[in-house]
Amino acid sequence: MLPPLIPRSRLFGNPCRFGPQLSPDGMRIAWLAPDEGVINICVAGIDMKNARFVSRDRDSGIYIYLWAKDSRHLFFLRDDRGNENRRIFLANLENDEIRELSPFEGIRVQQVITDRHFPNEVMFGMNLRDRRCFDLYRYNIETTDLILEQKNPGNYISWVTDNSFRVRGALAAEPDGGRTLLIRKNTLTQPETIMTWGPDDTQIIHGFTGDDESVYISDNADSNTTCLYRLALNESGKTALISDPDADIAYLMIDPRSHEVQAVSWIKDRLRWESLDPAIAADFSNLTKAHAGQYVVVSRDQLDRRWLVVYFSDVEPGTYFLYDRETRTASHLFASFPTLSDFRLANSRPLEITSRDGLKLTCYLTLPPGLEPRHLPLVINVHGGPWARNQWQYEPEVQWLANRGYACLQVNFRGSSGFGKKFLNAGNREWGRKMHWDLLDALDWTIREEIADPDRICIYGRSYGGYAALAGLTFFPERFACGIDAMGPSNLITLLNATPAYWSTEKAKLRHRIGNEELEQEFLRSRSPLFFADKVRAPLLIAHGANDPRVKQAESDGMVAEIRKNNGKVEFLVFPDEGHELLKPRNRLRFYAAAEEFLAEHLGGRIEPVSLAERSIST
């Protein structure tokens, strides 16, 4: 027997509190919380007393922020109704003044950089001069001066600063989709090529070492999975520090004072840490004992006396602790979703399933608690990206599906990140083909094991996952009883033609991984569900944000029109005040209420009654 229904408002409403950060001086904590239903920044003392909101957004909310190094100001980014043209603001904690640092229409801010030795300054990228690329600007909090620090020649993706807050280099895009790291070996020289990578390689620049003589990087140029290196700027080259043969590096811990790497983590099926610094070995041991579940240190003060730590698992959305390194004690701060503790959540089981051509697919299967795991209706929940991955963690959609009586299958299909270069690049040019075959192979495993009812399968996803839902119902229409597509592309030609101007440095890599919209239109048509809409036989629910800059609403408009022209059954939900994500709780609740009714009708699961406020506007 299934446990009681978990209200959609508990699963898809705003968290109570999340995303905390310590002030650099370690005396205050900031976090994100709903204020009149909109996510804003809240600040309190280290004892969590006298909390107050320091931002006042009343639209989509604030999700990106960081402390100024003076501990008296906060920077935050916000856009307009999901259009992702993020602008940067400065909140003064002493007088509650909010100042916009980028008061320009149609621009986007990214890569905000601060330095503890320059507490009154910040640098950030902004595409003011040319919408296709980001120049670097320096802003002084005290004088309010905004100056152009470095001009982008056109192909720079991100900037690298040293420990004196000087711009020393950049990561640049190459015409073939590869990357080049350019570094000034000293402040008097011009940038030199230090490393080059091909389009199939992965690289992350972690920053300078404390002596400014080397740079930490992770890459897989000489290996399958990423390895952490110290890359010297003299002739000694790069020194391998640590790697794992089965997974790419996930998170690093870097000492805020010495800039030395202290710990590294990987995620194959679950998160695993390895300490490189004996000085934190006792801290890791204490954190392991303080609370159950995986953990990540999300924030540290400048003197490294205090850490903010989040614990999470498949049934725990996130519980935060303040860890004092001097006393070796961890104090509970808050849980993101405390009201979920009243309900029984479903465990997710990691699986390794072999594809038809021998690839190992890391999957997660979540079964509805209280039901015999035989011949269940199943939703295959396809992740977006597609160069991303599923993890062993709390997922509100997964818990919602299991609570309503559905098995939920998550598949890290080829092209997913985190499993090495060969696995990632096995997805190149395989949209709608081998990437989708992996989904079917994992699905077939659940059918052979008699877990899933083959006649009651839904394919659902967002972004690339939405594309996969459309591909499933067009290229493999006999396999699915229904599908749900949220913000998914239907035409790969128009998807690539309509990328935002500031994606110019990513265009070559997109063409390498998907196809060339100028030279390979016939190939891309063969992988685009829009041109096979007449094959759709199963009912389909499509949702889209009208302001989506990544996947334009026209992708869904065209698919809906073609299906209706062929007398197919499709419901269409448009959210005029959203972009690529549903950030407003009322819109999330409307979407999931409609999806819940849709699944109940076509797969037979249970449903929470839909309120009048949750009735979405359909077209």
For residue range 110-130, list pLDDT tens digits in order. Answer: 999 999 999 999 999 999 999
Q: How many structural domains compose the chain?
A: 2
CATH number, residue 43? 2.120.10.30
Band (189; pLDDT cuts 50, 70, 90): confident
- pLDDT over threshold 80, residue 319: yes
Four-CA torsion 196, 200, 201, 204, nearest 10 degrees = 100
Q: What percent of the chain has pLDDT over 90?
A: 96
Q: Once rounded to an integer, what is the mean pLDDT over residues 548-560?
A: 98
What is the predicted pLDDT for the residue at 53? 98
Q: How confident is the model at residue 617 (pLDDT cuts 50, 70, 90)?
A: low
For residue 398, is it within any domain? yes
* Structural domain contains residue 120: yes
CATH value at residue 606: 3.40.50.1820
- Residue 332, domain member (yes or no): no
List b or e across 427-460, with b for residues whose CB sees 16 or more CB atoms inside 10 angstroms.
Answer: bbbbbbebbbbbbbbbbebbeeeebbbeebbbbb
* pLDDT tens string 130-142: 999 999 999 999 9
Q: How many CA atoms lie within 13 A of 433 on its CB side?
A: 12
Instruction: For residue 172, give every residue at least 6 positions away whose Cβ sits within 8 Å of its Cβ, in sequence order, or none.
Output: 155, 156, 157, 179, 180, 181, 182
Please give the DSSP secondary-structure letter assigned to residue 618. B
Give the residues across from 229 on adjacent strands. 217, 240
What average pLDDT does the segment 582-586 reach?
A: 96
pLDDT band at 619 (very low <50, low <70, confident <90, very high): low
Distances (CA, A) of 108 to 67, 68, 135, 234: 20, 20, 11, 36
Domain end among 121, 138, 153: 153
If pLDDT is split at 50, 70 and 90, which confidence band does 167 have? very high
Q: What is the pTM of this model?
A: 0.96
In a domain, 418, yes or no: yes
Distances 471 to 348, 406, 431, 563, 600 between C-alpha atoms, Å: 26, 22, 9, 13, 22
| pLDDT score, position 616 | 60
Q: Which of 130, 153, 176 is the last residue of a domain?
A: 153
Q: Answer whether residue 455 is part of any domain.
A: yes
Q: What is the rounded CA–CA span in Å between residue 527 and residue 310?
A: 41
Please give the Cα distance from 602 to 247 (Å, whole number): 38
User: Any idea which residues carry the catalytic annotation?
Assistant: 463, 548, 580
**Segment 470-519, tens digit of pLDDT:** 999 999 999 999 999 999 999 999 999 999 999 999 999 999 999 999 99
Answer yes or no: is pLDDT of 158 > 80: yes
- In this structure, what token pair is assigned to residue 214? 């080397």
Residue-wise over 461-496: b if at least 16 C-beta within 10 A, else e?
A: bbbbbbbbbbbbbbbbeebbbbbbbbbbbbbbbbbb
Is residue 366 situated within a structural domain? Answer: yes
Running DSSP on this structure, what letter comes out for residue 615?
-
CA distance 144 to 102: 12
Domain, as residue range, for 448 = 341-614
Q: Tell me whether residue 536 is in a domain.
A: yes
Which of 125, 153, 181 lies at the terminal end of a domain, its last residue?
153
Reply yes or no on whether the pLDDT at 185 is more than 90: no
pLDDT 10s digits, 225-276: 999 999 999 877 899 999 999 999 999 999 999 999 999 999 999 999 999 9
Q: How far apart are CA 208 and CA 223, in angstroms?
A: 23
pLDDT of 63-78, one tens digit each?
Answer: 999 999 999 999 999 9
Give a yes or no: residue 126 inside a domain: yes
